[in-house]
Structure formats: structure tokens, C-alpha cells
Chains A and B, each alone.
Chain A
Amino acid sequence: MTHEWRRRHLLRTSAMAALGLATAGRLAAPAVAKDLKGTGTVIVYDGGGAMGAAQRKAYSEPFEAETGIKVVHQAGVPAGVQRAAILAGAPKHDVANISGGALASFAQEGLLTPIDYGWWEQADRDGYDLVPASTFASPAMLYSMLVVFDRSRFKDKAPGSWVDIWNVRDFPGRRSLAAGTNAADGATFEIALMADGVPPDKLYPLDWERALRSLDRLRAEVVKWWANGAESVQLLVDKQSSAGSAWNGRVDGANEQGATLGTSWNQGILQWAGWAVPKGAANVENAMKYIAFMSRPEPQARFSDLITYGPTNARAFRYMTAERTALMPTAPQFKRLQIVQDYTFWNQADANGVNGLKRAVMEWERWVTSRR
């Protein structure tokens, strides 16, 4: 199968190269892009709210205009529901959006169809520098779990690391962090270890016991262990909490609407979600075309203009302003301050056959029920 793809890919790229020569004068014009025209429909994951709106504007509407394929947005579901749906043979989407923490196990268990990179420009595939586009998933967006604080409470000196978040003497006020049931996505275990002085390059494999001991020290200061992204920012906006953790996109969303939240890129934990085509999807070819369309730099730039999720194709920065770039977690100047979350660790089984995600939930349940 891969041979066939490679051949098709080669054929197409050589044809495109010829076309490209003919139109060399019009640099990077959409006309040189691969022909994704088709018929029928494709059912794609919709992130809801601002994300869904950005998806429609940046990806779906121009995709429909260019290809004639009708895009149907369907509300996203938790990873477990999507997995059940694939196992039952009735996936929820042709183009699914699965968080990096869950993707590895989907791929391992053969629940995904390999991405057809024959529809992609090689330059775009090469542009995925931070997280490569892999056999089963094309990274959809990069976001970061950051130190966040209420600017009105920390006017002179603001927290700039997880150690500062743990330091309530110099940075007084209540705290909010993700509940451990969010497992990898909440990044609370990584945060607790860095707050305890573990250097970022020595985080993995996570020392669960040390992480929980670190959380013990902060427990009394935490007004709320947040359950979802909406809550992480709402607690700060409502002044229930004065500092903690939140995703950069949520913070920017609140600030665009008048909130006064500050963040620090230092020790941010970069996370990502990927586009994937579930086994059993009804419109595989259209799904592949849609994913290829989303790999292009122009739509990615447009998407990141609408919502502060970092483009996964670094070429997209060419189409973005310096001000907008400075908001992106993947902006060249911030990349080195952050840590890319190690999803391989999170999905690896230990000696007892328990992977990191399950271990996190079990440790968390034990912690909340036994320790005071």
C-alpha cells in the first residue's frame, strides 16, 4: 500500500513541479497547490465556540469553495466516546480531532487509517518542524499550559515559573490547577515536579510520589482544581483564584474580551492535538483531502489569526504579522522556553501493564480520597 502511495505521490509531485515551473512567476499562489476537487461530503470534528467558528472560516468555507466537497461540522466528543464509536464500526467523524495524549493508543490499536500524504506538498510536510506529521495523524494545533495570573493582583512582581506558583509568601493569593482526572491534558503532574525543582529535561519518566508530595504542599492554597478549560479562566476572571495554570488559547480568548490575565511562557508545557481519519470512516478520500488542505500555510495562518492556537506548519508564520506571531506558543522566540509534553511516556505501560494516563487517574483518586 505504501508503495502505491509513494508512486502516486511522486507522479503527482512531478506533475506539480512541471506546473510550478509554468507558473513560477506567481510565487506561492494557490493555483500551484494540488487539485483537491471532488464530490460528496466530509464530516469533520467541530471544536465548538470560537474554535468551531475559526475552523469554518479558515478551513471549511475555503475548502468547499475550492473543491466542491461539502463539509459537515459535527460536535466533538471525548476520546473515549470516539474510540467506542470506532470499535463499533461507526466513527463520529471522517476527520477526527484527537488529543496527542490519546492518539498513540488509537494508533497502536489500529483504530486509524494512515494519512495519505500524496495530497500534500512536500514543503508543507517539512514545515511540521516541532511535531512531525506522522503515519496516522497530522498535528492540528499546538497549545501550551502556562503559568497564568491576575495582573491586577501582581502589579510589581508577577509569578514567572511553577516554583513561583507554589510560593504563596511572595506571590500571595489562592491557586487553581487542573484536577488530576485530566491526566496528561491537565499537565498537573509535570507542573508539580517542576515546582519541586525537577529540571525540565529530567521530567520523564514522571516520579508520581514526588509529584503528589509536591501537590501536598500546595493543597491548602488551591481554591479549586479545575475540571475543564472554561473553568480554568473563569476562576481567575471571577477573582476566586489569583494564579495557577491555564491553556494559552483560553487566556487570550478571555483577554480579547476584556479580562486582564497575565501569562509566562517560561516552563510552559506544549501540547497538541492531531487530525486523524478513523477506521471505518465513510468518506476517506474526502477526509484525506480536507486534512491536506489544512496542512497548507495560508489556511493555517488564517486559523491562527482567529484563535491563538499555534500553527503546526512553520511556513504559516510567513503569512502572519509579528504581533500575531508573538501570541503563538510556537513562535520561534518562545519555543525554547517551553517543554513539549512527552506523549510517548504517557502512553507507555509500566511493569504492571498500567500506562501513564491510567496511573495518573489512579494516583489522583488515591490522593484525593486518602490524604488530607
Chain B
Amino acid sequence: MTAAARAPAGATWRRGVLPGLLPVLVLLALGYLVPMGAVLWTSLHRGGVFGFEAYAEVFGSPTVLHILMRTLWTAAGVTLLCLLVGYPFAYVVATRSGRWAGLFLGLVAVPYLTSVLIRSYAWVAILGGNGLVNQMLLELGLVTEPLALVFNSTGSVIGMVHILLPMLVLPIYASMQRIDPVLLLAARSLGGHPASVFVTVFLPLSSPGVIAGCALVFLSALGFYITPALLGSPGDYLVAQAIEVRVSTLAEFDVASAQACLLLLLVGGALFLLRHRLTGVAEGEGGKRSVAASRGDGLRRSALDSWLPRPSWPGAVLERLAPLAGPALWLLAGLVLVFLLAPMLVVVVVAFSNAPYLTFPPPGYSGRWFAAFWADSRWLEAAVFSVAVSTVAAVTALLVASPLAFALARRRFRGRQLLWLLAISPMIVPHIVIALGLFFTFVGLRLNGSPVTFWIAYTVTGVPYVVIIMLSALRRFDVRIEQAGASLGGTPLAVFRTVTLPLLRVPFLSSFFFAFLVAFDDLIISLFLSSPRGTTLAMRMWEDIRLEISPKTAVVGTIQLVVLLTVMLGVALSGAQRR
């Protein structure tokens, strides 16, 4: 890393970039480019004959284009909603929660602890016609008829925002917690009202996190189909569902591939055009720009700058509202936590149900479903397998993709913009299409049935998270701190360990966290890769609840919650001891 700091200008592939990037290049070539090549090939062949029939079918159908456009609008809307709710929440956590920040962040992860099927069931129990919310509203006399909160677009959006919000909160928090309070103090001392200081200083400084978070949410939302199918109306039909039904039910691989390629082209093209606003990729021709970009002078040059009006009037409005800010923020943070945790509470209650089937509220309580879980060794084996492959893949993704993020942020070499697009594009293509391509590739490589396939696949799906989160973190990273360390005689490794790593702890951890979760939560890829030598927990749960939703799945979620809380407690305690 210090090599980069010393000679950021004019780096070329030969001078130093290649060795660090070799692992990620090999990985993306094998685990993404080759499979996507197979997908492209598939989209251009029908019955073994080359042709454009699949594309003609896609473009010839107003319905498909309509679904594609709706998907883009839905993803944009969900992103905006997440931002409106998530930004103030991250703000509270980063600036007001003090030593409780760790707890808040841990709780943000809770939505990921259950399978999508039982999570959706919990939402139905909360939002349904005789659900908790409607019962409460009726009881209070606020409504006379139950509100339609689920099985329509409202339900679909609630379900999507719930699971995507953490992806927005963590990157924003990461960029907020590294904003130097001295800058804010300086602005205050120059006579700035806190509200103006927020708008002119804090907001721009947090913009890399905002951009990273929005990118993660938007790109993830493009691939959603189970949540809209379970909580929405048939009209909430998104392109990933159209692709899924073409692969799973119709086995029309050419049309599915063509739709995926079109989606990739549309979204990838848009990202490429917006790359200067979106990325922290080093820009310009001379060396100065990249040093400047990393030096924290983004106050003047932030990407958000050009989008925001000059901050005088929002500052003025906020100044009037300032006295209300504290209580309002805490109220909002509380509501967000309730929103994030409510389905999990339903799941925990259901896990202790004594009913033989899923019903909420349960008629009584017992530990029978926990006993059933422990009695079945196949579930435990699957749980161990899932944790193992997800951990190994997330660590690998972090190890191979972080150098890419550092190189993209600090060095200018030919093709870096395309490399950035390549690294994040596994998030754009619906996973079922990647899975299809990967499967054919692995069989061709005679790897079929080996746990190595899971490792490669989940590393590929983890890379975009690492790149997006690390790039946003590095945009505000002051290279001179590292240079100072090096000038004091630190070896590159020592500088990395004692300077870089501690400063980037939160982005590293959140990258790992999402890379792990996207693997742990995956069902689609595992449907293709599973074999007697490896079956994931997500697949066991799916297998068990395809026909009937049993409370056993709720047990899995509850155990995961306990594990998470234990880890958080452990971290908090060890932190306290160090202090």
C-alpha cells in the first residue's frame, strides 16, 4: 500500500498493479467472465443454432420491456425510501449513540438472520388483514376496516426496504464515523449554525457512503423476486422473477439469458456513464488529482456537490427546525429499530410455539421445535457447511478484492473503469443466471459436486460488496497518514497493520459482513451446486418449507440471533476491558 502512496502517478500494469490484482483477475475470469460467456452464448443459440431469436422475443414483447422498466423504477423507489429512512438513522448511530453504536449496528443486521420465506411469513402476521398492525389500529378506533398493507405494492416495498436498509446504513455509518469532529468544530467556531454546518460540511463528507449505500441497495433490488412474489400482488412482478420462471419452470435458458444480458447492458451502461459521480476510482491524467481526491478536500469536490443546491436555504430551514432535531432523530431511530426487529420478534415467538404448524400468535409455548432441530443431524451438517463456505468465501473476497479497491482508488492504469464495472457487475446479473453459467463452467472443469465450487461462486458474489464499500471508504482516506507512518521507518506491512487497518476497521468489517451474508443467505446458487458432498442450510430450509412452513425454520433464525447477540456481547466486553 505504501508503494502506492509513494508513486501514485502514472502507474501502469507492469509497474506494480498486476501482482496485487492477479488473484482477483483470475477469480473474476474463472468465476464470472467464463460463466457469463456461457450465458451470452446461450442467449445467442436456440436449438444449437446461432441466432437472435431470444433477443427478438424479448424486444418483441411489450410485456417484458414493461417488466424491465418497472423493475428499474421499483429499485429506484426502494433506494430512495431506504435513503430517507436510513440516512438519519445512520446519523444517530454515528453521532449520538456513543458506546452503544456497536449494539445498534448489530441490530441492523438482524433482518438477515432468517430465511426469506419465514421472514415474509412474519410480515404477513404483522401486516395482514388480522395482523398485529390492523388489530392495533382497529382497537384504537383509528380505522373501521382493516387496511390492505400486504399482498400489494405496499407489502412488497415494506419487505424490500426491510431487508435492504442494512446495506444502506452500514456504508453511510462507515463514512460518517470517520468524519473528523475537528472539522465540524472548526465550522462552528467560524460562526456556522449546527444546521448549516451539517449541510455544508457533514453532508458532503458523508456522500461517499451515501453513494456506496445507494448503489448496493439499487443493485440488490434489481435481483429481487421472492419477496415481491410473497408479499406483493401479481402486478409487482419484477424481471428477476421473469428470468427465474424461465430457468426453473420453462427451462428456456436462451430467453432467460437474453433478458439477463439486456439487464446487464442497461444497468452496466448507466453505471459506466455515471462512473465519475459514482466511483472513488482514481481520475484524471496527471498524478495530482488522485492524491488530492484522497486527501479529504472533497469538501469542495464532493460528488453530491453538483447535485445539491447551494446550501443556504436548506441550512436556513434546518436552523428553524434545529431544536426539534434531537428528539425527532431519536424517535426516528427508535421506529427504524422497531421496523427492523419486528419480524424477528415474530420469528422468535413462533420458534417457541407448541403448535404443530405455523400460526401466530401460537396457542402455547414449548421447546419441541428446538428438540426437532437438534435431533436432525442433516440440519446441523448443513448449518456447519453453510457457515464454513460462507466464511471462507467472505475472507477470500476480502483478501482478493481489497487490493483491487486500493488500486482503483489510488492508481491510474489503463482499463480501471472497466475493471471497476466488471468487479461490481456480479451484483447486476440475477444470481440464477450466474448460477446457470457457473454450473456449466464447473462441470466443464470437472469440479462438479466439490465444495470448491461454493467457495468460488460465493467469493464472486462477495467481491462487489467489498469493492463498493472499500472504495467509498478510501475516497476520504488521507494517504499522508500512511506516508507519515512510512517516513517514520515503518515497513509496508507494519504501516498497514498499525495505520491502515485500524482506520478502515469498519469498512473491512462491513465488507466481510455483507460478503458473508450474501453467501449464507443464498438459495439460488446452491440449488445448482448442491450435491451429497455439500448442501447449504438455506437449501435445507427451502426443502423443508416448500410444501409446509414449519416452525423449525423459525428455530434456525432464533439460534442465529442468539449467536449474533453473543458475538456482539463478546466484542462489547472485550472492548470494555481494553479501555
Contacts and interface: CB of A to CB of B under 8 A. Distances in A.
A240 to B, nearest CB: 6
Interface in A322-367: 357-358, 361-362, 364-367
B263 to A, nearest CB: 16
A368 B67 CA distance: 10
B543 interface: yes
A368 B252 CA distance: 21
A160 B223 CA distance: 41
Interface in A228-254: 228-231, 233-234, 237-240, 249-250, 253-254
A85 interface: yes
Contacts of B253: 80, 84
B117 interface: yes
Contacts of A102: 249, 251
Contacts of B128: 238, 240
A198 interface: no
B35 to A, nearest CB: 12
B543 A368 contact: no
Interface string B349-386: 00000011111100000000000000000000000000
Nearest to B541: A48
Given A49-B546, A72-B532, A237 B230 contact: no
Contact of A84 (B124, B439, B532, B545): B439
Interface stretch (A161-169, A219-227, A312-320): A219-227
A78 B523 CA distance: 12
B358 A74 contact: no
Contact of A179 (B234, B242, B546): B234
A81 B528 contact: yes
Contact of A239 (B130, B439, B539): B130
Interface in B523-567: 527-528, 530-532, 535, 539-540, 542-550
A267 interface: no
Given A84-B439, A369-B63, A230 B546 contact: yes
Contact of B443 (A78, A83, A90, A240): A90
Contacts of B448: 88, 90
Nearest to A223: B151
Interface in B126-156: 128-130, 151
Interface size range of chain A in the complex: 35 or more
A89 interface: yes
Contact of A80 (B124, B247, B440): B247
Contacts of A46: 543
Contacts of B246: 80, 361
Given A51-B547, A368-B235, A358 B252 contact: yes
A76 interface: yes
Given A102-B249, A228-B547, A253-B548, 14 more contacts: A75-B535, A75-B539, A75-B543, A79-B249, A80-B246, A81-B528, A85-B439, A223-B151, A225-B233, A231-B230, A234-B549, A237-B357, A240-B130, A369-B66
Interface of B: 61, 63-64, 66-67, 70, 117, 121, 124-125, 128-130, 151, 229-230, 233-235, 237, 241-242, 245-253, 355-360, 436, 439-440, 443-444, 448-449, 527-528, 530-532, 535, 539-540, 542-550
**A-B interface, 9 closest residue pairs, ranked by CB to CB distance from nearest:** A48-B543, A78-B248, A257-B356, A368-B234, A88-B443, A80-B248, A80-B251, A257-B357, A90-B448
7 contacts: A48-B546, A179-B234, A181-B245, A225-B234, A229-B547, A238-B125, A240-B130
Interface of A: 43, 46-52, 72, 74-81, 83-85, 88-90, 92, 102, 105, 174, 179-183, 223-225, 227-231, 233-234, 237-240, 249-250, 253-254, 257-259, 357-358, 361-362, 364-370
